[in-house]
Chain A
Amino acid sequence: SQELEQSPQSLIVQEGKNLTINCTSSKTLYGLYWYKQKYGEGLIFLMMLQKGGEEKSHEKITAKLDEKKQQSSLHITASQPSHAGIYLCGADIPSSGSARQLTFGSGTQLTVLP
């Protein structure tokens, strides 16, 4: 089965600093999703990557999928307290059923100190 490993598990940075979160797959990724979650709340969709070498940005968050499509990184530039939360990567997994399914990493807890 496909597994996703996220690193680091937790991260504490000073406001204004840049940071990177990684998501590594044991198998080729055919769809990689990044979500953000505030404690006790649902997941907020950030970005989806599908092609090797693809890079997407939204505001100060950039996500990349490597050429081999087995690793993705999420980079935040000039972090702010509003970026704090849990970041989860999810990947499409082969399904014998008729619905698309995702498997998720265990998440990265980000704390941004003011």
Chain B
Amino acid sequence: SQTIHQWPATLVQPVGSPLSLECTVEGTSNPNLYWYRQAAGRGLQLLFYSVGIGQISSEVPQNLSASRPQDRQFILSSKKLLLSDSGFYLCALLAATDTQYFGPGTRLTVL
């Protein structure tokens, strides 16, 4: 079965600092991968998805970017964090059953 790892689990960063969140998956090959953000009291917002290495689609214009350097690695980055970037970031993969499974998440607080 598939396993999704996210690192780090929590992060506190000052405004203007860079960001790198990592998502790695096991137990599957060439999965569709997704980055979501969940702000306090709100639902999930799809940020990026990737259907393969080097293939990134952005759903929301923002100061975040994503990369997929390896088949099972999906990275969310920013050059300069904003206060509004605070939230809970979730990585997900699409299983063969057409169901999305989610990682444990990263709690980001921008001060």
Q: Which residues of A contact B (CB under 8 A)?
A: 4, 31, 33, 35, 40-45, 48, 88, 90, 97-107
- Known contacts A31-B98, A35-B102, A102-B100; A40/B32 CB under 8 A: no
A48 touches B99 (CB 8 A): yes
- For residue B32, which residues in chain A have a CB less than 8 angstroms away from its CB? 99-100
- Known contacts A40-B88, A48-B99; A99/B94 CB under 8 A: yes
Bound Cα distance from A53 to B4, whole angstroms: 33
B94 touches A100 (CB 8 A): yes
- For residue B50, which residues in chain A have a CB less than 8 angstroms away from its CB? 99
- For residue A43, which residues in chain B have a CB less than 8 angstroms away from its CB? 90, 92, 102
25 pairs from A and B in contact (CB 8 Å cutoff): A4-B43, A35-B102, A41-B104, A42-B90, A42-B103, A43-B90, A43-B92, A45-B99, A45-B102, A48-B97, A48-B99, A88-B43, A88-B44, A90-B44, A97-B57, A98-B51, A99-B50, A101-B59, A102-B44, A102-B100, A103-B46, A104-B44, A106-B41, A106-B43, A107-B43
- Known contacts A42-B103, A99-B57; A105/B90 CB under 8 A: no
- For residue A42, which residues in chain B have a CB less than 8 angstroms away from its CB? 4, 6, 90, 102-105
Bound Cα distance from A100 to B92, whole angstroms: 12
- Interface of B: prevailing SS: strand
Bound Cα distance from A105 to B44, whole angstroms: 8
- Known contacts A43-B90, A88-B43, A104-B43; A99/B102 CB under 8 A: no
Q: Which residue of A lies closest to B88 (CB)?
A: A40
- For residue B43, which residues in chain A have a CB less than 8 angstroms away from its CB? 4, 88, 104-107
A99 touches B42 (CB 8 A): no
B42 touches A33 (CB 8 A): no
